[in-house]
Amino acid sequence: MTQSATTGAPGAPGQNAVARRGRLATLDWRRYIIYIGVVVVFLFFAVLLGDQGFLSKNNLLNIFRQTATITVIAVGMTYVIACAEIDLSVGSVAGLSSVCTAMALSRYGIAAGILAGLAVGLVIGSINGGLVSMLGIPSFLVTLGMLGIAAGIAQWITNSAPQPILNDTFNSIFGSGNIGPVPILIIWMGIFVAIGAVILAKTRFGRQVLATGGNRTAADFTGVNTKRIKFQVLLLCSVVASVAGMLYAGRLQSGRFQWGAGDELSAIAAVILGGTSLFGGAGSVVGTLMGALLIGLINNGLILAGLDTSQQQIIRGLIIILAVAMARRK
């Protein structure tokens, strides 16, 4: 860090100016690397793949549509990671939520379906949060276990069969519809990002999440109830993931245990690419959106470029490592 610039006496003339300059020099480009990355990758594909339809309106909307669900999950994940915890169960929570929504909806109607989906998030989030904050079990282990449990339940209660959703209202609200020219998925994504960004940056709850992640002892000594904060972020993350499960259900017009499988890793990648510290204490929801978009852009571009799945995976992995390496704090 800027140790050499700021070891001087407090109040010494010029010291603050030096500190401030040092801060700009160190933070400036690293904090914004993800924005730069999105622009650079976009321009790169625009030049290279402009002829293959990369710049067509349809393709650009597609990129957003494909990243929307991951982005919603990643907004919740931002809180968890900023609080120095992790939630590996989000993908299977989304899957279980999609099946529960579909099953309740076909029997009791649309309201019951939505409530069933949210209930999945509430129940699993409470269990995750309770085990982590009350019993002090590391969230990595709790949610790793929950990943298996939720996925297993989803597969078991459906006998591995997809659960079709025939309710058009549900399908159009949760993913298939459009408002004017804008796909509704993008609206959902926008709402989650906007609310998530304001709460994290501008409310006492958000500030206490960052404080708990940055130095739990200090937060405790300052009067932050860090147990409650940890419980709340894990609950919030699960509920958000259950909404994402309904977005899968609406877009694909069915509930299925595979929906969301593996999303935890994409969401974590988006969060970290977006500048949220894996060690907690710093986080940005807008950054997370950018991280998700970067991944979406790369996926889309590589497909248009005609690379096969194996090559896509390799290149995606390389870009993620490169971006995180460049964005890391010293």
Partner 1 sequence: MAATVHDTGSHRPDAQTLAVDMRGIDKAFDGVTVLQDVHFEVRRGEVHALAGGNGAGKSTLMKILQGVYSKDSGEIVLEGRPAQLSSIQDAKAAGIGMVFQEFSLVPTLTVAQNIYLTVEPRGRGRLIRDKEASRQAAEVFRTMGVDVDPDAVVGDLSTAYWQLTEIAKALAQDARVLIMDEPTASLAKHETEVLFELVARLKARGISIIYISHRMDEIYRIADRITILRDGRWLLTEPLTDVTPAQIVEGIVGRSVEGQLAYRERVAPARTEPVLEVRGLRAGSRVDDVSFSLYPGEILGLAGLMGSGRSELARALFGIDRLDGGEVLMRGRKVDLSDPGRAIKAGIALIPEDRRAQGLVLEHSVRDNLLLPLLQRVRRGPLISDRSGRALAASLIDRFDVKVAHPGRAVRLLSGGNQQKVVLAKWLGTDPDVLIMDEPTAGVDIGTKSEILGMIRALAEAGKAVIVISSEYPELLAVSDRILVLRNGTVAQELNRRDIPDEESLQLAVQGV
3 binds partner 1 (CB under 8 A): yes
Q: Which stretch binds partner 1 (CB under 8 A): 62-70, 129-137, 208-216, 258-266?
A: 208-216
User: In angstroms, what is the minimal distance from the CB of 329 to partner 1?
Assistant: 9
- Cβ–Cβ under 8 Å, residues 250 and 170: yes
Residues in the chain: 330
User: In angstroms, what is the minimal distance from the CB of 295 to partner 1?
Assistant: 25
Which helix H or strand E contains 179, and what residues bound it?
strand 178-179
Which is nearest to 102 in space by CA: 178, 26, 199, 167? 167
Q: Choose, by CB under 8 A, the member of 141, 218, 314, 321 that binds partner 1.
A: 218
Most distant pair of Cα atoms in the chain: their distance: 73
Q: Choose, by CB under 8 A, the member of 207, 227, 258, 305 that binds partner 1.
A: 207
User: In angstroms, what is the minimal distance from the CB of 46 to partner 1?
Assistant: 36
Q: Choose, by CB under 8 A, the member of 136, 180, 181, 223 that binds partner 1.
A: 223
Work out the burial of residue 305: count CB atoms within 10 Å of its CB; fewer than 13 is exposed, 13-18 middle, 19 or more buried: middle
Distance in angstroms (rounded) separating the CA atoms of residues 70 and 247: 10
| C-alpha distances out from residue 184 to 64, 229, 230, 247, Å | 11, 32, 32, 10
Estimate to the nearest angstrom the gap between the alpha carbon of 146 and the chain centroid: 18
User: In angstroms, what is the minimal distance from the CB of 31 to partner 1?
Assistant: 11
Strand-pair category, 182-183 with 178-179: antiparallel
203 binds partner 1 (CB under 8 A): yes
Query: What x-and-dash track marks residues 250-289 binding partner 1 by CB under 8 A?
Result: ---------------------------x--xxx-------
Estimate to the nearest angstrom the gap between the alpha carbon of 136 and the chain centroid: 24
User: In angstroms, what is the minimal distance from the CB of 287 to partner 1?
Assistant: 14
Distance in angstroms (rounded) separating the CA atoms of residues 174 and 249: 7
Name the one residue in this structure whose structure tokens are 């998700």: 292
Distance in angstroms (rounded) separating the CA atoms of residues 18 and 20: 5
Q: Choose, by CB under 8 A, the member of 56, 160, 169, 222 that binds partner 1.
A: 222
User: Can you give the C-alpha Rg of the chain in angstroms?
Assistant: 21
325 binds partner 1 (CB under 8 A): no
217 binds partner 1 (CB under 8 A): yes
21 binds partner 1 (CB under 8 A): no
16 binds partner 1 (CB under 8 A): yes
126 binds partner 1 (CB under 8 A): no
Q: Choose, by CB under 8 A, the member of 121, 196, 213, 255 that binds partner 1.
A: 213
Q: Which stretch binds partner 1 (CB under 8 A): 4-12, 165-173, 227-235, 301-309?
A: 4-12
Distance in angstroms (rounded) separating the CA atoms of residues 29 and 25: 8
211 binds partner 1 (CB under 8 A): yes
- Cβ–Cβ under 8 Å, residues 58 and 304: no
Q: Which stretch binds partner 1 (CB under 8 A): 7-15, 55-63, 114-122, 313-321?
A: 7-15
Number of helices (H), then strands (E), belonging to the chain: the values are 15, 4
Scanning residues 162 to 201, which ones bind partner 1 (CB under 8 A)? 198
Residue 112 tokens read as 């019951």
User: In angstroms, what is the minimal distance from the CB of 174 to partner 1?
Assistant: 28
Which residues of the chain form contacts with partner 1 (CB under 8 A)? Answer: 1-3, 6-13, 15-16, 19-20, 22-23, 26-27, 198, 202-204, 207-208, 210-211, 213-215, 217-219, 221-224, 277, 280-282
